[in-house]
Amino acid sequence: MALESIGGREREILTAIVETFIATGEPIGSRTLARSNREGLSPATIRNVMADLSDAGFLEQPHTSAGRIPTTEAYRYYVEQLTGTAKLSHEDETIIQGSLQGVADVQEFMERTSHVLSLISRNVGVAVALNGPKNALEHVYFSRIGDQKVLAVVVTKSGLVRDRVLRLDLSQADLDVAARYLNENFRGWTMEALRTELFRRIEQERSEYDRLMASVEQLYRQGALATDDATQVVFVEGAANLVSSEEDRQRLQEMLRTLEEKQKVVDLLSAYLDVKQEAVRVVIGLDEAQPSMRNFVLIGAPARVGSDVMGSLAVIGPTRMDYQHTITAVSYIARLFDKMLNESE
């Protein structure tokens, strides 16, 4: 029995099994389904359908005498049948609006998003802020914080703030002049273009702006304007939700180790979320990207401001999760991201 060949009766029973198992976590027997079946099917008829679904790979029996539970294929089929027309509950909408109220930059939005997704889904909330098209300079600030120590702060148009401590012996007056020069000449430039042009000016204009360019050169060569273009800011929250679940402890430990490594989280989202996609994507079984996550699910979407992709947001959890609820929440927050960040500009 292939996915496309499932009939109405099989579809109803499979959907009922998936939804009942998500709600209870207990293997489902034919008598349990018979009591709630709207068509009044007998336990024997339901048992025969369940046997067919098991043979087709949609159900499995964890113990000889127990009922059946959905397989990965069953969850995939179930998700395909969801219409996408469900609305967010008033309670969830209130929680999200309250959590994200007043956010004006990408980094803060992503940090709060990982928290609220974890709260609503009771799984792991993940958000990644990318260095995308809006990785352009808003302003720089330099401050002398001790002997041969300078704090360099770079703020981009997207709202990302990067700071680093440099080993430099420059006076605050020289730092202020250098910051003013960069802000007046390069505001709105992408960081890559800024560094390219600055290097050219350092080489060509050294004699004309001797002291100023000497200060700028020192800051430049010490990495004051480096924004780690290849690195994303990653927020992960809610790992404790998995620890309290009934999943296999060894698998959970492997997943938690994966989530602790930020680059693996970035790789995971990059592997499954296409920046060109418009809708929320549901991926059941993440073993292609991370073998330790075979029995986990990713529900995610790109975060856009207009046509610019600024990052991605997702929920990661075990296959037994409330798919409709989580899909609706991820979709709502992705749309809210576009609306709120557009309004803040």
Which residues of the chain form CATH 3.30.450.40? Answer: 90-130+232-344
By the 10 Å C-beta count (0-12 exposed, 13-18 middle, 19+ buried), 43 is classed as middle
- Select the more confidently predicted residue: 83 or 300: 300
CB 160 within 8 A of CB 233: yes
- Fold classified for 137-221: Enolase-like; domain 1 (3.30.390)
Most confident of 102-111, 234-243, 255-264, 319-328: 319-328
Which residues of the chain form CATH 3.30.390? Answer: 137-221
- What architecture is the 90-130+232-344 domain classified under in CATH? 2-Layer Sandwich (3.30)
pLDDT at 248: 58
- Per-residue pLDDT for 230 more than 60? no
Whole-number percent of the chain with pLDDT over 90: 24
Instruction: Please check whether the domain covering 3-81 is classified as CATH 1.10.10.10.
Output: yes
CB-side exposure of 258: number of CA atoms within 13 Å?
25
Which residues of the chain form CATH 1.10.10.10? Answer: 3-81
- Select the more confidently predicted residue: 332 or 83: 332
The mean predicted confidence, pLDDT, of the chain is 82
| H helix or E strand, kind and range, residue 138 | strand 137-146
- Per-residue pLDDT for 4 more than 60? no
